[in-house]
Amino acid sequence: MDMGLSGEEYERRQAVVNELRNAMRNAISGEIRDKLYLKEHIEAILEHDYGLNEKNIDLVIPFNQPDRLTSQDRFDILMNHFKKKHGYKALTFMIEKHKLGLLKRIIEGGKSESYVITEEEIQAVYRKEIRGLDFKDKLDVIVQRVYQLYKGFGVTDEIRDMNIDGLSGGVSGAPSKMTTVEHVAELVGQMRSSKRGNNSVWIFYKGKTIHLSFLEFETDLELKRVAQNIYKHNSPGPLTETSGFVVNDMADGSRVVVVRPPFAESWAFWVRKFDIPNLSIENLIPDTYEQADLAREHDQNLMKGAQTTAYTGKTGAGKTSLMMTSIGFMYAFLNLRTVELIFELNLRQLYPERNSIAFRELPTIPGQEALNLNKKTDTDVSILGEVSSQSVATWMIQMTQVGSLFTIFSHHAVTTRQLIKWFRDALLAMQIMQDERLAEEQVAEAIKWDIHVTRDQQGNRYIERITEITLVQYDESFFENTNDYEQLMKESIRRKHGPLWKERNILEYRDGGYVAVNPISPDRIQEMRGNMLAEDQIAFDAFISKHWGGN
């Protein structure tokens, strides 16, 4: 349409339109810059087009009548208040300052302990912190509210951006039925309905899952909208009734999982975040634990010694964070190649000056093909984000056999025996091997160390143990030097049916600190030394001597 614009002015306006379209498309991917850009436009529209000013702004949200504010209103005001000084650590600061992350006896009639932040606590924090709001404060809150209902992630929008471990929605309570037109009509009419359990909001904070019982998605439809948008980064494809779930990454490297009916009883999502700017070995293994340097140095020696290592532990224990940090101990001249189901480790963000690239499985490119390509890309260190399926287990074993110096990966095993058995069974199930003992021996030969991390009921994370895995060595000259028939038969049975490998805890966590337990085996020490630079060999020898009295 001809608006009488010059060519230059038309191009300028068209560029603004294109930038706005891109921001609208990318904001749901977790791109903070695009979110801020859209909020600037929303603010301008509210002020200039809708005439929002100091006289009428309290008609939108009753800022001047605190007793009329909802819990969400108070929380949004508090987040805006703390963000001005603490940025994306605002939620952490509020929880720590007001001791909101403690165990409480509230739910189930006060009979059960849980982590929960209540409406009463938010009211108390509001009374202590908020003394008055100027027009800009009020406008910021309204702009954020409009954004999160329009393009954002509802009541979880600002929470998702915070430096926490993660968040989830729709994971508690009695799900509402929404199977007929009548149900949908009822839900649409319940925009200000009472809280329904499956619309709850939870955060994962310092190893603890905390229920934000004061927050809710206003309707099931709003929860569904957020769940349908939060996984859309890089267009992973539709989430249908047939597929049931989707796993993807977000623009900032967060991992997102979304489920839907009929596979799940309700719409729900989980976002797992990694605080990359603050990811350091000192934060993960702090000096508050006695002999923390023992655990840190041992991990460092394993990486410099090129040892294939499993980082094991339950969800939320910190195994992936520890693995990401441990990569910093590897020699920087080694090429890093990662194979993942989704881009989660973000090693090039952590180590931008290193030679590193990650591959992922696609519907059109199976993981095995990615692994085969990985062997042709000058690989020194192979990295698997998480071994969670039998097919991925076979990738890991292949990685240890050809194409790289050593491999690291994460797994959910609780014990070393469980770890070895799980991989053994995976090789058998995938028909990579047919003999159970040969499969077990191959796994035990491939995985040299198990670093097991855990977290206690208070959310404290620590390395529970570092376990060395070695094959059982038999005397090859035994049959030549022994003529006793009975002894020969016993030895034959022992070798045929006896243990193939042994585990030995080198380090353990006890009573608030780390202790050296059993010494590293001599053969393993020599293997590690052979992969180290000369100065690191000297430091490693000193480490062994200090904690175990020499080799």
CATH code for the domain in which residue 411 is found: 3.40.50.300
Find the angle CA(470)-CA(475)-CA(477) to the nearest 5 degrees. Answer: 155
Q: Does 262 share its domain with 316?
A: no
Q: E strands along 233-392, which residues?
A: 245-249, 255-259, 268-272, 309-312, 336-340, 356-360, 381-384
Q: Does 242 share its domain with 285?
A: no
Q: What is the mean pLDDT of each run of 10 residues along the chain (551 residues)?
A: 65 80 80 90 93 94 95 97 96 97 92 94 97 95 95 94 93 64 49 50 92 91 93 89 93 91 94 79 91 97 98 90 95 93 86 93 83 86 89 88 87 96 95 92 96 89 96 66 63 68 96 96 97 97 91 49
Tell me which H or E stretch contains 376.
none
- Count of beta carbons in the 10 Å neighbourhood of residue 520: 27
Most distant CA pair in the chain: distance in Å? 108
Q: Does 298 share its domain with 268?
A: no
Q: What is the pLDDT of residue 176?
A: 62
Q: How far apart are CA 72 and CA 222, in angstroms?
A: 15
- For 453-466, give one letter per residue: b (16+ CB within 10 A) or e: bbbeeebebbbbbb
Q: Does 152 share its domain with 286?
A: no
CB 170 within 8 A of CB 223: yes
Q: Does residue 201 lie in a domain region?
A: yes
Q: What is the pLDDT of residue 519?
A: 97
Rounded to 10°, the helix 119-129/71-86 angle is 50
Q: Does residue 1 lie in a domain region?
A: no
Q: Does residue 2 lie in a domain region?
A: no
Q: How far apart are CA 112 and CA 305, in angstroms?
A: 48
Q: Does residue 3 lie in a domain region?
A: no
* Per-residue DSSP letter, 517: -
Q: How far apart are CA 302 and CA 447, in angstroms?
A: 12
Tell me which H or E stretch contains 468.
strand 461-471
Q: What is the pLDDT of residue 430?
A: 92
Q: What is the pLDDT of residue 480?
A: 58
Q: Three-state secondary structure along 47-112?
A: HHHCCCCCCCHHHCCCCCCHHHCCHHHHHHHHHHHHHHHHHHHHHHHHHHHCCCCCEEECHHHHCC
Q: How far apart are CA 438 and CA 422, in angstroms?
A: 14
Q: Does 435 share its domain with 313?
A: yes
Strands 166-169 and 268-272: antiparallel
Q: What is the pLDDT of residue 477?
A: 57
Q: Does 451 share its domain with 305?
A: yes
Residues facing residue 204 across a β-bridge: 166, 209
Q: What is the pLDDT of residue 22?
A: 81
The SS3 assignment for 519 reads: coil
First-last CA distance in the chain: 83
Q: Does 339 share its domain with 478?
A: yes
Q: How far apart are CA 467 and CA 538, in angstroms?
A: 23
Peptide bond into 262 cis (omega under 30): yes
- Count of beta carbons in the 10 Å neighbourhood of residue 399: 26
The SS3 assignment for 516 reads: strand
Q: Does residue 291 lie in a domain region?
A: yes
Q: How far apart are CA 14 and CA 538, in angstroms?
A: 64
Q: Does 454 share its domain with 431?
A: yes
- For 239-259, give one letter per residue: b (16+ CB within 10 A) or e: beeeeeebebbbbbbbbbbbb
Q: Does residue 7 lie in a domain region?
A: no
Considering its fold, how many domains does the chain have in total?
Answer: 2
CB 384 within 8 A of CB 367: no
Token output for 143: 């702009």
* Structural domain boundaries, residue 379: 279-548
Q: How far apart are CA 184 and CA 313, in angstroms?
A: 42
> 169 vs 27, 229, 426, CA distance in Å?
19, 13, 33
Q: What is the pLDDT of residue 434?
A: 92
Residues facing residue 116 across a β-bridge: 211
Q: Does 68 share its domain with 98?
A: yes
Q: How far apart are CA 84 and CA 137, in angstroms?
A: 10
Among 232, 252, 273, which residue terminates a domain?
Answer: 273
Q: Does residue 4 lie in a domain region?
A: no
Q: Three-state secondary structure along 266-278?
A: CCEEEEECCCHHH
CATH number at residue 67: 3.30.450.90
Among 219, 245, 273, which residue terminates a domain?
Answer: 273
Among 214, 242, 273, which residue terminates a domain?
Answer: 273
Q: Does 266 share its domain with 286?
A: no
Q: Does 337 share its domain with 293?
A: yes
Q: Does residue 5 lie in a domain region?
A: no
Q: Does 293 share its domain with 156?
A: no
Token output for 441: 């021996």
Find the angle CA(396)-CA(400)-CA(402) to the nearest 5 degrees. Answer: 115
